């Protein structure tokens, strides 16, 4: 069994809601509310959920791009929540992020060479400019962009190519963990596959570990080894991808799986259509947060929050129904 590269323990991230003339805090958005999971060395853990479930906040809090409200993030045995600014900078070399929007995440005034080279400069990984540019060239080559693109600006590239530049920037410092936050959802369907294949190739070549955050369960299932499903700031189910698809335990996972329209007109699914919308994370429902929409909710659900427990070999879920059985 591979070692855990990253462990997230009881992570919480609350955003204050301010109101009134004095901007007093009147409530909190509980974006991430007490989640725990681990990512093993060399694996891809998928984090999936609908908008507002806290999946992106989780990614950013792990990197301390947002400061956690509570909880621990242990990277290679070290709790990085306790590190000071300098130590944190050093550890960011090992943890990189790829963003969703390849249009917004690249500085339009910088050339590709500078975008990809900047992290190399910050971490002083090259002795001189020549060595740095050599490195950049190599990385660009590895993500499928030739060295001839070095002196171009982001606007000269298509969405797929920009995302490759984003991947190159993350790779420039030779990281161990890459958090990919919806890396393909802004891309055209035919280009998504290119980037997904690229990420898989790079994982093999560099021995990378991924935390892959996305709303698209089919892409997550394709690329991940294990998948965690989030709903309203909580992880409701976590298991390996085959088990998740073959034997989803949580009613939310079940309905999520059944809601995805499949590219096969012959297949008529027994669809579980959830009623209503995702409630506000400012005032989440009592007990199990899914109970107002859950087709299987019973009297205990609004009262008590279910525990996140293991139900057979590495299959975790949080649901009262499972405890009853």
Partner 1 sequence: MSKEALVEVKNLQTYFYTEEGVVKAVDGVDYEIYPGETLGIVGESGCGKSVTSLSIMRLVESPPGKIEGGEINFQGKDLTKLSEKEMRKIRGNDISMIFQEPMTSLNPVYTVGDQIIEAIMLHKGVKRKEARQQAIEMLQKVGIPLPEQRVDEYPHQLSGGMRQRVMIAMALSCDPQLLIADEPTTALDVTIQAQILELMNSLKESYGMAIMMITHDLGVIAEVSDRVAVMYAGKVVEYTDVDSLFEDPKHPYTWGLMNSIPKLDKDVERLEAIPGSVPSPLNFPEGCKFNTRCPLAEGKCFTDEPELIDAEAGHKVRCWRYKDLEEIKARGERIYADQGVKE
| Residue 53 token pair | 């479930």
- Regarding 256 and contact with partner 1 (CB under 8 A), the answer is yes
- Regarding 259 and contact with partner 1 (CB under 8 A), the answer is yes
CB nearer to partner 1: pick between 67 and 264: 264
Count the residues of the shown chain that bind partner 1, applying the rule CB under 8 A: 51
Reference 8, options 17, 52, 54, 27; nearest CA is: 54
318 touches 236 (CB < 8 A): yes
| DSSP summary character for residue 224 | -
Residue 126 burial by CB count (10 A; 0-12/13-18/19+): exposed, middle or buried?
middle
| Contact region with partner 1 (CB under 8 A), list: 5-13, 174-182, 188-196, 206-214 | 188-196
Member of 217, 227, 294, 318 binding partner 1 (CB under 8 A): 217
Binding mask 136-165 for partner 1 (x = CB under 8 A): ------xxxx------------xxxx--x-
Sign of the dihedral defined by the CA atoms of residues 213, 218, 223, 225, in that order: positive
| Contact region with partner 1 (CB under 8 A), list: 11-19, 28-36, 39-47, 249-257 | 249-257
222 touches 210 (CB < 8 A): no
CB nearer to partner 1: pick between 121 and 205: 205
CB nearer to partner 1: pick between 278 and 301: 278
- Minimal distance in Å, beta carbon 66 to partner 1? 22
- Regarding 190 and contact with partner 1 (CB under 8 A), the answer is yes
- Minimal distance in Å, beta carbon 77 to partner 1? 33
- Binding to partner 1 (CB under 8 A) within 94-133 occurs at none
| Residue 92 token pair | 């960011």
Measure the CA–CA gap between 219 and 211, rounded to whole angstroms: 13
- Binding to partner 1 (CB under 8 A) within 20-59 occurs at 50-51
Using DSSP's 3-state secondary structure scheme, residue 95 falls into strand
Residue located via tokens 């570990």 = 209
């Amino acid at each position: 069994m591979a070692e855990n590269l990253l462990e997230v323990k009881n992570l919480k991230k609350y955003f204050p809601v301010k109101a009134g003339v004095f901007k007093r805090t009147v409530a909190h958005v509980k974006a991430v509310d007490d989640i725990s999971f681990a990512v093993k060395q060399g694996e891809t853990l998928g984090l999936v959920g609908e908008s507002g479930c806290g999946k992106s906040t989780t990614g950013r809090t792990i990197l301390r791009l947002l400061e956690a409200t509570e909880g621990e993030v242990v990277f290679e045995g070290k709790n990085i929540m306790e590190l000071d600014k300098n130590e944190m900078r050093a550890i960011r070399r090992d943890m990189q992020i790829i963003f969703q929007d390849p249009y917004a995440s690249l500085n339009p005034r910088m050339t590709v060479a500078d975008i990809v080279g900047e992290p190399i400069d910050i971490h002083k990984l090259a002795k001189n400019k020549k060595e740095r540019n050599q490195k950049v060239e190599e990385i660009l080559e590895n993500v499928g962009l030739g060295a001839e693109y070095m002196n171009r600006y982001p606007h000269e590239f298509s969405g797929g190519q920009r995302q490759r530049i984003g991947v190159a920037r993350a790779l420039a410092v030779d990281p161990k963990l890459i958090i990919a936050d919806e890396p393909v959802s802004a891309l055209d369907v035919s280009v998504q596959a290119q980037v997904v294949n690229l990420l898989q190739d790079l994982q093999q070549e560099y021995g990378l570990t991924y935390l892959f955050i996305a709303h698209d369960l089919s892409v997550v299932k394709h690329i991940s080894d294990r998948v965690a499903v989030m709903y309203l700031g909580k992880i409701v189910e976590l298991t390996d991808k085959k088990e998740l698809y073959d034997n989803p335990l949580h009613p939310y996972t079940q309905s999520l799986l059944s809601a995805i329209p499949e590219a096969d007109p012959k297949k008529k699914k027994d669809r579980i259509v959830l009623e209503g919308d995702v409630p506000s994370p400012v005032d989440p429902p009592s007990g199990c947060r899914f109970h107002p929409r859950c087709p299987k909710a019973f009297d205990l659900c609004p009262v008590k929050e279910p525990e996140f427990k293991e139900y057979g070999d590495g299959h975790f879920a949080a649901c009262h129904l499972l405890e009853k059985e």
